[in-house]
Structure 1
Amino acid sequence: MPDNAPPPGTGQNRRIAMISGGSLERDAKLARLATLAGCTPLPMDHTQPADFLLIDLSSETDRLNDTVSRITDYLQKYRSTALIWSKMESLEVIYAAFPQGQCHFLVNADDVKAMPILAGAFGRGGMDRLHDRDQEVEFRSLHRISDELAEFARALARMADPELKDKIKDTSISFRAAPLGGFQGFPSESSVANDISAKLSLREIIKLRRLRDRFFPPDLFADPAWDILLDLKAAAQEGQHVSVSSLCIAAAVPPTTALRWISAMTESGMLLRRQDPADARRVFIELSPETSAKMDDYIVAVSTRFAPII
């Protein structure tokens, strides 16, 4: 942040949220959203610092690249936190363009989940904790986020419109608790059998995991981190690149939730972002060498016990 620029929100009791919705109607909705969450909404001003940017890029077409460039410059200058609405079809370009660690991505106009982010369920401190390279990424907190967001969002929505109280449904995804020590440091070497794919077909395992959805509610088994790891390992064995949108689908949870996990796992060093050499506007996601070695070791260990990883 420039020396002459005051910190975001200085001298005010409410945080500042700058709005860029692409239309007067959308601007009004985003302003109301910010107000409900305890923020002061202001029109987008690239010379004034703000705590949050509320940017709806769902309707952007020809102006998308210019908008992304201007917002990226703003984030780098003021270190604000951005909430960015996107359609699934434009997610690749948007995810690749914005600086990692400063953005929450909300796919398909997911306004309800934006309210608790603004009101402090994440807040600036939560974003910092998830994206501070000098601290351990708090994966366990991600297991609780969806339920907390849903409860907070329902309360705020009822405050905004009492008539909605019977219409708002719980869209949370319940995760089983992360195992103690489940995200320890990686070993430097890996002893792996020569032909893992002959012992175990990861694609078949993934199919079996999805088969459960025919008999039970899908959110009963939500486990996005493991689904992400399985899909990336299978793709690596096949020599395939994995796009962000494809990985969101593989995670088997709503795209907004999947992006949260992808971002946190990338910041932790478990996953890597690689720019598409054929298209600079998008990135591929892959396992880090250490994570890939851990997956190899795990697959071999499980294979020797004749137990499927499902």
Structure 2
Amino acid sequence: MPDISPHPATGQNGRIAMISGGSLERDTKLARLATLAGYTPLLMDDTQPADFLLIDLSSETDRLSDTVSRITLYLQTHRSTALIWSKMESLEVIYAALPHGQCHFLVDADDVEAMPVLAGAFGRNSMDRLYDRDQEVEFRSLHRISDELAEFARTLARMADSELKDTIKDKSISFRAAPFGGFQGFPSEIPVANDAAAKPSLREIIKLRRLRERFFPPDLFADPAWDILLDLKAAAQEGQRVSVSSLCIAAAVPPTTALRWISAMTESGMVLRRQDPADARRVFIELSAETSAKMDDYFAAISARSSPII
């Protein structure tokens, strides 16, 4: 059993991960995960700075609000990064309350999905490793890196003891290359928009995209960014607001993957977070004005070609 000390310690690289799992058993598993990634695991201490927080809120119920407030204060004080395990039903409250840009959310996810984050692949400064000084890495390279990280995570997981391995399913991990800052800015030349976007039925387009899953594996055509944009555009046309959990479902990928894309698209300015005026514990996601105009232009161009849209 790894030592989870309540006091500072020096790890192999001087890196520290604070642990809060809600039970001794979960604390032990999170400590093993941190140790596997090269961090010294310490029990949660509000006064001690750490590189990462590993916080499991999946079992939190009555005291969820208090726990989230404590984590928020810690992140604001120490500027650390948090890995948050949660259930889908509590995602809205957790996502709305915690500081944007400092948290990675693992929703109903295996522990192995935390490994690329701990390895630095999706950190706030991760793009420093993915960009040359003058040339951006192409997205196909990011997909390749994601696949390599997934295999790296599985290899490390196999090295863990059987208790940890029992929690890991033998399946592909859909990281799908959505690191923070991973989207290019919009081109400066903006075509004149028109009302052609109203012609296609976006809900019908979405239904046709989902119909493919009756004939092929769902993750074969995984395209979360486009599915997110389609759902937000359709909702805007209908005058509806879209919650985070609803958008995760619309993305048609695992919630953890969807949240990475939502975060990356928010960082890029493609989509916006709006607090629910009736309930501060929830945020809505919507298209930015520029993104919405770009979609209008795209559908106008497609409509002019009389091409099918799926």
- TM-score band (shorter)? 0.7 to 0.9
Cα deviation, residue 152, structure 1? 1.6
Contact 1:107 1:256 in 2 (8 A): yes
> Given residue 20 of structure 1, which amino acid in structure 2 is its aligned partner?
S
Q: Does the residue aligned with 1:277 lie in a helix, a strand or coil?
A: coil
Please state how far the C-alpha of 1:191 moved relative to its aligned partner. 2.5
Shift of 1:49: 0.4
Paired letter, 2:41 = P
CA distance in 2, matches of 1:139, 1:57: 36
Identity within the alignment, % = 78
Report the counterpart of residue 156 of structure 2 in structure 1. 156
Q: Which residue of the partner structure matches residue 230 of structure 1?
A: 230
Match of 1:94? 94
Code of the residue aligned with 2:200 in structure 1: it is L
Would the alpha carbon gap of residues 139 and 289 (structure 1) be closer, same or farther in structure 2, given more than 3 Å must change? farther
Q: What TM-score, normalized to structure 1?
A: 0.85
Match of 1:205 in 2: 205
Give the 3-state SS of the residue equivalent to 1:34 in structure 2.
Answer: helix
Instruction: Supply the distance in 1 between the matched residues of 2:20 and 2:274 (Cα, whole angstroms).
Output: 29
Cα separation, 2, equivalents of 1:122 and 1:85:
16
CA contact (8 A) 2:235 2:241 kept: yes
Q: Does 1:41 align with 2:47?
A: no
1: CA distance, partners of 2:136 / 2:75: 22
Q: Cα distance 1:242–1:71, how it changes in 2: closer, same or farther (>3 A)?
A: same
**1:26 corresponds to:** 26
Aligned to 1:281: 281
Mapped partners of 1:246, 1:138: distance in 2: 31
Q: Is residue 115 of structure 1 aligned with residue 115 of structure 2? A: yes
SS of 2:273 mapped into structure 1: strand
Aligned to 2:5: none
Gaps in structure 2 of 5+ consecutive residues: 1-7
- Partner of 1:286, secondary structure, is strand
- Which ranges of structure 1 fall in alignment gaps of 5 or more residues? 1-7
Contact 1:150 1:170 in 2 (8 A): no
CA pair 175-259 structure 1, distance change in 2 beyond 3 A:
closer
Matched residues in 2 for 1:11 and 1:32: separation?
Answer: 13
Quote how far apart the aligned CAs of 1:75 are: 0.5
Q: Determine the structure 1 residue equivalent to 2:70.
A: 70
- CA RMSD in angstroms comes to 3.0
Which residue is equivalent to 2:4? Answer: none
Deviation at 1:195, TM superposition (A): 5.2
- 2:275 alignment partner AA: Q
3-state SS in 1 of match to 2:54: strand
Shift, 1:116, TM fit: 2.6
Q: Deviations over 1:168-224 (max 9, x none)?
A: 5232348699xxxx8442558653333532x21111001000001111111110000
Q: Distance in 1 between matches of 2:242 and 2:208?
A: 21
The answer on 1:243 being equivalent to 2:280 is no
Where 2:252 maps in the other structure, the secondary structure is coil
After superposition, the Cα gap between the structure-2 partners of 1:145 and 1:243, relative to the gap in structure 1 and judged at 3 Å, is farther
2:115 maps to amino acid: M
Letter in 2 for 1:156: L
